Chains A and B, each alone.
Chain A
Amino acid sequence: AQTVTQSQPEMSVQEAETVTLSCTYDTSENNYYLFWYKQPPSRQMILVIRQEAYKQQNATENRFSVNFQKAAKSFSLKISDSQLGDTAMYFCAFMKLLNAGNMLTFGGGTRLMVKP
């Protein structure tokens, strides 16, 4: 079974600064997908970024980027130029190979507060 751990229950950052959210996971799989989801106060889950394990290049989406360390089973999210709208819960998630059913295993979440 896979486990996903987010060691930071809460974090805060000043607007316009950079923050990094940590995520580690445990799996015996070699090919898999990793995700970061954002859950704002509206509770709607929003995909932030996705990383395929077979890709060595770290994924980036505008102000969001990841540091994927496969050997260390680490998948941190960096948010640059933080904005007030980034305030939300952030969940790291693991998915086995797609033909295994697309089931997501979520970490416990990190509550991020962006301060003006």
Chain B
Amino acid sequence: GAVVSQHPSWVICKSGTSVKIECRSLDFQATTMFWYRQFPKQSLMLMATSNEGSKATYEQGVEKDKFLINHASLTLSTLTVTSAHPEDSSFYICSARDGGLANTGELFFGEGSRLTVL
């Protein structure tokens, strides 16, 4: 089946630094990728939709200058948390749709990346 890989799986950084999280589709072309945030014991909240070659669409309340999303190729989307603060500590998950298949609605999820800001 389709595989989506995230890197790093866990990152610890100091407050004020920027952190980049990568989401790669390993065996398919992902025309659309989604970024979610999940706080402990809570559900996944959609942050933004990333389309290859165009600007990301952010959900209401998500700061686009804080969470920079780049989808420069059909297999890679990146989420950069700029000037991270402790309240940005969370689990970030990406998902992707296989653009080469008929759209059945199925999305493939990455393993998630845990960000801890000290």
Show the binding face of A for B, using Cβ within 8 Å. 33, 35, 37, 42-47, 50, 91, 95, 98, 101-109, 111
Contacts and interface: CB of A to CB of B under 8 A. Distances in A.
A106 B107 CA distance: 13
Max chain A CB contacts within 10 Å: which of B34, B93, B107?
B107
Given A43-B112, A50-B105, A102 B32 contact: yes
B54 interface: no
Contacts of B97: 102
A69 B23 CA distance: 36
Contacts, number: 53
B106 A47 contact: yes
Given A47-B107, A101-B32, A104-B34, 19 more contacts: A42-B111, A43-B91, A44-B109, A45-B93, A47-B106, A50-B104, A91-B43, A98-B103, A98-B105, A101-B49, A102-B32, A102-B34, A102-B97, A102-B107, A103-B34, A103-B49, A104-B44, A106-B43, A107-B43
A95 B104 CA distance: 11
Max chain A CB contacts within 10 Å: which of B43, B49, B104, B111?
B43
Contacts of A109: 42-43
B78 interface: no
Interface in B64-98: 91, 93, 95, 97
B32 A33 contact: no
